[in-house]
Amino acid sequence: MWVGRSMSHPKESHKMRIQLLVAGVCAAALIPAVALAQQTCEQRQSNRVAGTLLGAGVGAAAGSAVAGRGDRGEGAVIGGIAGALIGNQVAKGRPDCARAYGFYDNQGAWHANAVSRSEASGYFDRNGDWVDGAPRGYYASDGRWMQASTDVEASGYYANGLWVPASATGYYAQDGRWVSAASGYYDRSGRWIAGAASGRYDANGRWMPGQPSGRRAANGAWIADPQPGYYANGRWVRGETVGYYDARGGWVSTDARRPRADYPAGQYPDGRGRLSIDDRQAQLAERINRGAYSGRLSRAEAGQATRTLAAIERQERSLRNRQGDLGPRGRAIITARLDRLSDSISGDFRDDR
């Protein structure tokens, strides 16, 4: 009998060494992730090889260190294999820069790549992972990727031979310059002008080319300013909001705040008259647009509602006198039609649930 010396069971000692091995390998796997910031596409491309080699080396060292005296060779082999697998997973990606639309850096900024639409097949996300297809969404303020209800053709555009996601407020060109850009703009008549554009809207929906639409943060990241409003079906909807236009001019809201209702609180139904006809039409257009992008309205339902709203607007114009005023009878007719359209949209929302 041994006195004053603690003895551990061989199986427990072996189990402890395995646990230490796993912990060491997992810690080693974090190393390649540090190198993902501010890379070129080619550097993103090489992450897989570099991650595999580094993971294998560190894993082998960790395995040898925690293995028993007679098991150092076995521990090194096991650690090397495990480290290689995890290093490969952390730095995963395809050597596909020749077919990449571009990549997001760790800040979520887009780095554009010169690739034709016929050859492009994917991109690298902000974690360095390869994603098939073009980016069809945006990064939320908390870093999560949010998929948008846009098709591939509307998800981005070409600027000087470089593909840019419509959700990006700009992009880094291949020479490292930051270019502030949007997928297009609405002119004063409410007509969408597609193509790379730089500028911002004033409070009345007038496009001001060349005006900055954001600012640089202390860490160098570009922060877009909130919009003073947005266009829905060619009509300016006033009010601070956050979002972007897809390549076809469709507004995609990225505002995490609760969207406005058809009627402001306390104004419907008793205070219905406090809203102008134009305000109600603009808010209904917003609801239709929001429902179409969220999927709560089908394409057919959104199309029918849009056509109905356009018909109401035409009738409203025909009912106004030469001075542009709408009399009591005309207001009653238009209000009733807007009420029916609003109820129809609400019914479509309920049916969807």
> DSSP states of 168-231 as a string?
-SEEE-TTS-EEE-EEEEE-TTS-EEEEEE-EEE-TTS-EEET---EEE-TTS-EEEPPEEEEE
Look at 21-35, 83-97, 171-185, 290-304 and tell me which has the smallest mean pLDDT.
Answer: 21-35
Q: Is the pLDDT of residue 165 over 70?
A: yes
pLDDT grade, residue 337 (50/70/90)?
A: very high
Q: CA-to-CA distance for 122 and 128, rounded, in angstroms?
A: 12
Q: What pTM value is reported for the model?
A: 0.53
Regarding whether 166 and 271 lie in a shared domain, the answer is yes
In a domain, 243, yes or no: no
- From the list 17, 12, 92, the residue with the least C-alpha distance to 62 is 17
Same domain, 53 and 111: no
Last residue of a domain, one of 73, 92, 111: 92
Q: Where does a domain end: 27, 58, 92?
A: 92
Q: What is the pLDDT of residues 66-122, one digit of tens each?
A: 455 555 555 544 555 555 554 444 444 444 788 999 999 888 899 999 888 888 999
Give ∠ CA 229-236-221 in degrees, rounded to 5: 30
CB 136 within 8 A of CB 152: yes
* 131, part of any domain: yes
Q: Is residue 192 one of the residues assigned to a domain?
A: no
19 inside domain: yes
Give the model confidence (pLDDT) of 242-262 as tens digits: 899 999 999 988 876 444 333
Query: Where residue 3 falls among pLDDT bands split at 50, 70, 90?
Result: very low
In a domain, 40, yes or no: yes
Q: CA–CA separation, 331 vs 337, rounded Å?
A: 10
Please report the pLDDT score of residue 75 as a whole number.
52
Same domain as 340, residue 304: yes
Does 227 fall in a domain? no
pLDDT at residue 293, as a whole number: 80
Residues 122 and 87 in one domain: no
Domain that holds residue 30: 11-92
Checking if the pLDDT of 211 tops 80, the result is: yes
Task: Give the chain's domain count.
Answer: 2
pLDDT of residue 45: 58
Residue 244 belongs to some domain of the structure: no
